């Protein structure tokens, strides 16, 4: 599975838009891009998933350029409760790939987003 | 709603003890995962399972073993706990594959003294 690179941390203010970019240069044809949110003392929670172009749900938008080597999670009008760590994960949605030898799955360090009043 | 539960939120064990961490999911998911999370290192995959009795090593399997006798249950075993295994342990499950949406449990904070 493709490795990902994200900024370690970002600060923002309430009401602003936060954009977090994840690099995944080795993304494979069958890979999807998934973002998770984690609050302290909790397990990560799925936010959004996409394959190409733009995906939007009630929480966030995900922008994926044509070459798919990066993706940007956009959180509109953040509030204090959006303070969390955000992880980008790239992987095959189907079960076959995880059985392959040497196929590793890693979330990486994530991006710590601090929303200030 | 998918529910992934872990047997303990907090656990304190002594060096050399055998430790069992249990994880149960209630959505008939094929895949289950064990991660550990340490400050600055993010989530690292220890083991995963894509079917009953099937398991695959993740990034850091040393010092751990797993068991999946039933589809809904995935156990992580520390054969002889050591202080460097003090960590937050997270279990997850997914319906189809590793890139599919993973549902996480609340985590078990294990301290080995």
SS3 category, A20? strand
Q: Which among B31, B43, B90 is the nearest to A95, CB-wise?
A: B31
> Does residue B89 have a pLDDT over 90?
yes
Sign of CA dihedral B57, B60, B63, B65: negative
Contacts of B56 in chain A (CB under 8 A): 98-99
SS3 category, A96? helix
* Mean pLDDT of the A28-43 span: 88
Q: What is the pLDDT of residue A27?
A: 87
A66-98 tens-digit pLDDT? 999 999 999 999 999 999 999 998 877 654 444
Torsion angles phi and psi, residue B29, rounded to 5: -75, 145
> Does the distance separating the beta carbons of A94 and B97 come in below 8 Å?
yes
Whether B108 has its CB under 8 Å from any CB of chain A: the answer is no
What's the rounded Cα separation, in Å, for the pair A46 and A44? 7
Q: Which among A41, A99, A106 is the nearest to B50, CB-wise?
A: A99
> Does the distance separating the beta carbons of B42 and A46 come in below 8 Å?
no
Q: What is the pLDDT of residue A98?
A: 47
Name the average pLDDT for chain A: 86
What's the rounded Cα separation, in Å, for the pair B29 and B77? 21
> Does residue B66 have a pLDDT over 90?
yes
What's the rounded Cα separation, in Å, for the pair A60 and A19? 10
Sign of CA dihedral B22, B35, A111, A51: negative
| Strand B108-112 versus strand B10-13 pairing type | parallel
What's the rounded Cα separation, in Å, for the pair B33 and B55? 10
B9-59 tens-digit pLDDT? 999 999 999 999 999 999 999 889 999 999 877 888 899 898 898 998 888
Q: Tell me, what DSSP letter sits at residue B101?
A: P
> Does the distance separating the beta carbons of B98 and A91 come in below 8 Å?
yes
Whether B48 has its CB under 8 Å from any CB of chain A: the answer is yes
Whether B4 has its CB under 8 Å from any CB of chain A: the answer is yes
Q: Give whole-number Cα distances, B23 to A30, A91, A102, B43, in Å.
A: 29, 23, 25, 17
> Does residue A103 have a pLDDT over 60?
no
In which residue are the tokens 């994200």 written?
A6
Q: What is the pLDDT of residue A67?
A: 95
- Proportion of chain A above pLDDT 90, given as a percent: 64
Among B22, B30, B81, smallest CA distance to B56 is for B30
> Does the distance separating the beta carbons of A43 and B99 come in below 8 Å?
no
Q: Which among B44, B101, B104 is the nearest to A49, CB-wise?
A: B101
Torsion angles phi and psi, residue B84, rounded to 5: -75, 0
* Mean pLDDT of the A93-110 span: 54
């Amino acid at each position: 599975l493709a490795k990902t690179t994200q900024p370690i941390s970002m600060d923002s203010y309430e009401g602003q838009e936060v954009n977090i970019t994840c690099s995944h240069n080795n993304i494979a044809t069958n890979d999807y891009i998934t973002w998770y949110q984690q609050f302290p003392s909790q397990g990560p929670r799925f936010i959004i998933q996409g394959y190409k172009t733009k995906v939007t749900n009630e929480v966030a938008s995900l922008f994926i350029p044509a070459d798919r080597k990066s993706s940007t999670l956009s959180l509109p009008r953040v509030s204090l409760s959006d303070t969390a760590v955000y992880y980008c994960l790239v992987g095959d949605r189907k079960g076959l790939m995880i059985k392959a030898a040497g196929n590793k799955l890693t979330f990486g360090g994530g991006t710590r987003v601090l929303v200030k009043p | 709603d998918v529910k992934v539960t872990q047997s303990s939120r907090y656990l304190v064990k002594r060096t050399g003890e055998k430790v069992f961490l249990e994880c149960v999911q209630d959505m008939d998911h094929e895949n289950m995962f064990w991660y550990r999370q340490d400050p600055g290192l993010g989530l690292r995959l220890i083991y995963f399972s894509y079917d009953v009795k099937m398991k695959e090593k993740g990034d850091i399997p040393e010092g751990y073993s797993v068991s999946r006798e039933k589809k809904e249950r995935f156990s992580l075993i520390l054969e002889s706990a050591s202080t460097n295994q003090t960590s937050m342990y997270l279990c997850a499950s997914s319906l189809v594959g590793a890139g599919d949406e993973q549902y996480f449990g609340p985590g078990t904070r294990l301290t080995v003294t």
